[in-house]
Every structure is written in C-alpha cells, then in structure tokens.
Amino acid sequence: MTSAWLDENWQSPRLVRECHDGCGCDPEVCLNRGSHKQDREAIEVFLTKDRGWGVQARRRILRGECVGEYVGERLSQRVAEMREYLYDRFGLTYSFGLEATSERAEEEDETEFEWENPTNVTLDGTFVSNHTRFFNHSCDPNIIVVHVSDGDRDHRGIRYSFYTVRDVKKGEELTFDYQLEGAYPDDSGNYECRCGSANCRKTMLNLRNLPKQ
C-alpha cells in the first residue's frame, strides 16, 4: 500500500482492486498484491493487562504493510442479524459486514452503485477466524481496514485486509477504530473504550452515526 494512497484514504478507506491469478502478471514482482504478501512472523497474539487478548508487533512494521486478512463464516444478512442479537448480550464484536464504496460511484455522484454493499454478506469470526479477531479497538489506531477485490465482477472476492497507517514499533499493540454502528447513546456504557489514548472518546461507538431515539 503506497504512502500516497494512505494519505488520501486512511480515514475513509475505499475499495482497492488487486491483481489476481487471471492477470498474467508475475506474482513475485507485482506491486499490486499487497494483501497477498503478509509476514505472519511479524506479529503475535498476547494477553493484555485489561482488554483480553491482543496482537502486537514482533518486529518493526513499516507504514503500508499488510498485517492480516479478516476471515470467518460467510453469513447471509438474516442469519447475521440473528447472531448479532445474541452476541450483543455477551459483548461480542467479531462480525464484519461486507461493504465498499467505489471511486467510480463517487466520481459520478451516484448514491447507489454495484460496488455498494454488494452481497449483504457478513463475516463472523466468533468460531472460525485467525489472529485478526484479536485486534483491539483504539481511538488512535495504527492500522485500518481496507476493502480488497481480486477483480471478480460478482464481488465474491471482496476481502477485509488490515494495513498499518504509520510505522509500528516492536512490542507495540496493533489496533484499529471499531466505529461500531447501530447502538443508542444509552448503550454507550456497554461499549466502553479502554485504549487510554490522548484523544480517547471513551466509547467504541461511532458517535457521528448514532441513531436518534
């Protein structure tokens, strides 16, 4: 991931189209396969002092490196809503809805486009996942979620990959901003933030998009 792209998009990630096996390019030298070039040895899961499990750097990780892809069960919207209703009762937050915004849609000033919420599929990492389910929340994150497409037009290849937005020191925890949606202001106590950053907003909720009561 280039620094120029991160400078423009890190606060509102867009869809990134990467090369794939049908491109004909050489995977060994292609620069457009960032999410396929992860160094799993660069990170490790560890037990934090007050936030359960987390993920930290085993070496210095440079800005723009991919540090994982979120995986999980692919659920329909109906099943996902049923599970999330139960998960909310236990404070579980391991679900991701597949959504993306295309550059073309923004350029053409379209409110709806084929890349917008393409499949209504949710990835549930509660039971089947990898180290990315242990990325904790922070109001001052050092990684972001990037929507990655391998070029298929039916969007089944859209994935969630995590990239660093700045250099990360060895031993530093990797975190991203959850910006949780759908809760009400009175529920904020259930989503308390403990990141301890100077700009901590005291909640994992996205305060700008809270529904009105």
87 lies in some domain:
yes
What's the whole-number mean pLDDT along residues 190-197? 84
- Residue 109: band (very low, low, confident or very high) from pLDDT cuts 50, 70, 90: very low
DSSP 143: E
Assigned token pair, 172: 């530093």
Higher-confidence residue: 52 or 94?
Answer: 52
Assigned token pair, 56: 């930290």
Can you give the residue range of the structural domain that contains 108? Answer: 3-178
Looking at every residue in the chain, the average pLDDT score rounds to 75
Higher-confidence residue: 9 or 58?
Answer: 58
124 lies in some domain:
yes
User: pLDDT tens digit string along 131-155?
Assistant: 999 999 999 999 998 888 776 544 4
Q: What is the CATH number of the domain that holds 139?
A: 2.170.270.10
Which residue type, as a one-letter code, is found at position 107? E
205 lies in some domain:
no
Backbone angles phi, psi at 30, to 5 degrees: -65, 130
Q: Whole-angstrom Cα distance, residue 80 to residue 96? A: 10
Number of domains in the chain: 1
Q: Whole-angstrom Cα distance, residue 206 to residue 183? A: 9
Q: Give the residue numbers marked as catalytic.
A: 70, 178
161 lies in some domain:
yes
Q: Is the pLDDT of residue 189 over 70?
A: no
Q: Whole-angstrom Cα distance, residue 213 to residue 203? A: 18
Q: Is the pLDDT of residue 55 over 90?
A: yes
Q: Whole-angstrom Cα distance, residue 213 to residue 51? A: 30
pLDDT score recorded for residue 74: 83
- Residue 103: band (very low, low, confident or very high) from pLDDT cuts 50, 70, 90: very low
